Structure 1
Amino acid sequence: MNGEVQRRVVSKDGHNNIRIDNVDGMVKLYLHDIWTTVVDIKWRYKLILFVSTFLTTWFFFGVVFYFIAMANNDLDIEQASNHTPCVMNVATLTGAYLFSLETQTTIGYGFRHISEECPLAILTLVLQLVLTSLAEIFVTGAFLAKLARPKKRAETVKFSQLALVSKHKGRLCLMVRVANMRRRPLLQCQLSGKLLFPYVTEEGEKIQLHQESVDFQLDSSEQCPFLVLPLIFYHVLDEKSPLASLTAENLKGRNFELVVTLNATLESTASTCHSRTSYIPQEFRWGYEFKPLIFGTQSGKYVTDFNYFDEIQIRSDSSLLQESTNEKLLLEEEYSKE
């Protein structure tokens, strides 16, 4: 492990570090679920889709109206006095394009308008209004769906850069600090974790990324009623924990990734947001605790100083490392006696 960069499934800012290659029919799969594809694409592509939808439909139906006018001899300069054009005052492709634009944006009809003598033009007009209305509903709905997603709200949730291991209420615990960067609180917050590590089964099967659940809790329960101040979540390193064998001595030599996810409900919209990060063994600190960052003011308010958010300090009970070593030696002695 020394000198090697450990791979991550999830980056520190919560993005997936997974690339999908060599999938047959990937484009077809994405087109089958076109709604999710349009909602998930980046904003620059969504804006291009929005603009191109209007420009394409305007031009397409403008060409159709131009061909209708051509078939009806509306483009002939020397027209009979009793000749009625399909679309009045449309003699060029530019005029047909402008008529299509005016129709779709409902800013007509004035100078250019359709006549009653051409059923094909009337049918094309109805078809344009129906199809373009559906297209506009789809694109506008995709815009609203992307805006309503709480993805950006999840970016205002901050995780500590380091995970600490020390004693809390007499038990060895893994600690992670989480903060809400907005004044409006997050409701029903719950922190959960997944431990990813290589694993070999009893049958000799090698699993590159075996997953085990890591439960976090506050002092009272697993769920926080609301998150308005930075809080520290704890995971007890007991015999039930997948990190039970973790010690200060073997920490740097371990190969695992702890993915931590915060699930919360937005107070304003009641929608659910998810924010995540990950920790590798190099980001664990043994025998440390987080420095306080909440201070009171004379006006009766609390101030959260985020300059101290990632600050840590050695615990006052410096015997933690020695105690963990002594416990390990006692277990080894008991095992050898058996």
Structure 2
Amino acid sequence: MEEHKEKKFNDFGLAEKSESDGYRAVNKDGSFNITKTNVPFFERLNFFHNLVTMSWFHFFVSILIGYFIVNFLFAGIYMWIGVENLTGTYGITNLEQFTETFFFSAQTITTLGYGRVAPIGLAANIVAAIESMLGLLTFALATGLLYGRFSKSRTKIKYSDIGVIAPYLNGNGFMIRVVNPQNNELLEVNADLSVSFRKEGSQHREFHNLKLERNMVFFFPSVWTIVHPIDEMSPLYKMTEKEFEERNVEFIVMLKAFDESSSQTLYSRSSYRAEEIVWGAKFTYLGQHKDGKLHIDVSGLNTYDQRDLQ
């Protein structure tokens, strides 16, 4: 029964088996290093997620491409119906007529309607009415997506590129540093640190939540050094640098904070592998008092001094 409880506690949903020494569960940017294959195409589709999370450049390019595709489609329909069903068209060649129907479609879908070209006849009016309704719905959707992107809080918490094994109290500790480079206020910042490594003589991995010196700070205007004491209760106790590499140790850190400016809860995560950990080092202090203020040099987030381990 106790063994079952322990196994359930250690299940982080990141797969216990690792066939490769190069496997990394969480990338440095916080994304999971997992790819799902053989998923049916329509089950993979998630337009809202893709449009909200993609870059601004790709978002506007996607909107622009969709706008042109719809107008090309309706311009083709008007050409098929016949330009004689549109008043005020003067094009003679097919290209000239298609150009006029394209711009008429653009005016119709945006409900702009300059007035020179207008539909006559039942077929042309039905198509124009359908396009107007489609335009209203599409632009309402685009507006919602735009608002969703602006209202979605994106934290840019910076993590130190390295972790360190440094002397701490009467022993040693694993430490990383985090800072919020933006001016938005983050409150009640909670940190969760876990570690995974390969079991001895096995390809399976075990996962452990690590006890922290402090797992929450009420305010986060400065730099926070997250510390895990490596004492007798730590799964890392007496592990050497060589064992870190051989057992493919990976630390996973997750931060949860309340963003005062957006009134939303933010999440951020990153990871550290054995080769990204410096042994016998301690982060240097980044603060400098000047003009009655505490200045934090964010560029020195990875600076450290060599120290002898306990």
1:189, distance to aligned residue in structure 2 (A): 1.1
Check 1:109–1:287 CA distance in 2 against 1; reply closer, same or farther (3 A cut): closer
Asked whether 1:213 is paired with 2:216, we answer no
Query: What does 1:219-298 align with in structure 2 at a 5 Å threshold?
Result: 222-247=215-240, 250-297=243-290
1:267-321, Cα deviation, whole Å (9 max, x unpaired) = 2112233333222223334443222221212x21111134543222244xx5x43
Give matches, 1:128-147, under 5 Å.
Answer: 128-147=131-150
Q: Which stretches in structure 2 are left out of the alignment for 5+ residues? A: 1-19, 91-96
Q: Distance in 1 between matches of 2:137 and 2:235?
A: 52
* Alignment TM-score, normalising by the size of structure 1: 0.72
Contact 1:163 1:285 in 2 (8 A): yes
Relative to the length of structure 2, the TM-score reads 0.78
Tell me, what secondary structure is at the counterpart of 1:265? strand
The one-letter code of the counterpart of 1:149 is K
- State the match for 2:153 in structure 1: 150
How many Å separate the matches in 2 of 1:303 and 1:257? 32
The answer to whether the 8 Å contact 1:89/1:112 transfers is: yes
Query: 76, 89, 97: which one pairs with 2:102?
Result: 97
Q: How has the CA–CA distance of structure 1 residues 191 and 239 changed in structure 2, closer, same or farther, with 3 Å as cutoff?
A: same
List aligned pairs for 1:16-55, cutoff 5 A.
16-20=32-36, 22-25=37-40, 27-31=41-45, 33-55=46-68
Contact 1:30 1:37 in 2 (8 A): no
Contact 1:57-1:132 at 8 Å conserved across structures: no
Distance 1:23 1:209, change over 3 A: farther
Q: CA separation in 2, counterparts of 1:56 and 1:134?
A: 16
Question: Which residue matches 1:68?
Answer: 81
Secondary structure of residue in 2 paired with 1:135: helix
Answer yes or no: is the 8 Å Cα contact 1:53–1:135 preserved in 2.
Answer: no
Aligned-pair CA distance for 1:259:
1.4
The aligned runs of 1:119-134 (5 Å cut-off) are 119-134=122-137
Asked if the contact 2:257/2:267 (under 8 Å) is kept, the reply is yes
Distance 1:133 1:240, change over 3 A: farther
- The verdict on how the C-alpha distance between 1:208 and 1:63 changes in structure 2, with shifts beyond 3 A counting, is same
Q: Percent identity?
A: 24
Alignment size in residue pairs? 285
Distance 2:220 2:251 in 1: 22
Bigger radius of gyration, 1 or 2? Answer: 1
**In structure 1, distance between residues paired with 2:129 and 2:108:** 10
> Larger RCO: Structure 1 or Structure 2 (Cα < 8 Å, ≥ 6 residues apart)?
2
Q: Distance between the aligned counterparts of 1:36 and 1:306, measured in 2?
A: 32
Which range moved further: 265-274 or 88-97? 88-97
CA contact (8 A) 1:175 1:233 kept: yes
Q: Distance in 2 between matches of 1:284 and 1:196?
A: 14
**Secondary structure, in 3 states, of the residue corresponding to 2:268?**
strand
Partner Cα separation in structure 2 for residue 67 and residue 248 of structure 1: 73
Residue matched to 2:304: 312
CA contact (8 A) 1:191 1:215 kept: no
Matches of 1:273 and 1:13 in 2, distance apart? 15
**CA distance in 2: counterparts of 1:207 and 1:141, whole angstroms:** 47
Tell me how far 1:258 sits from its aligned partner. 0.6
Alignment partners' CA distance in 1, 2:31 and 2:52: 17
Deviation at 1:180, TM superposition (A): 1.6
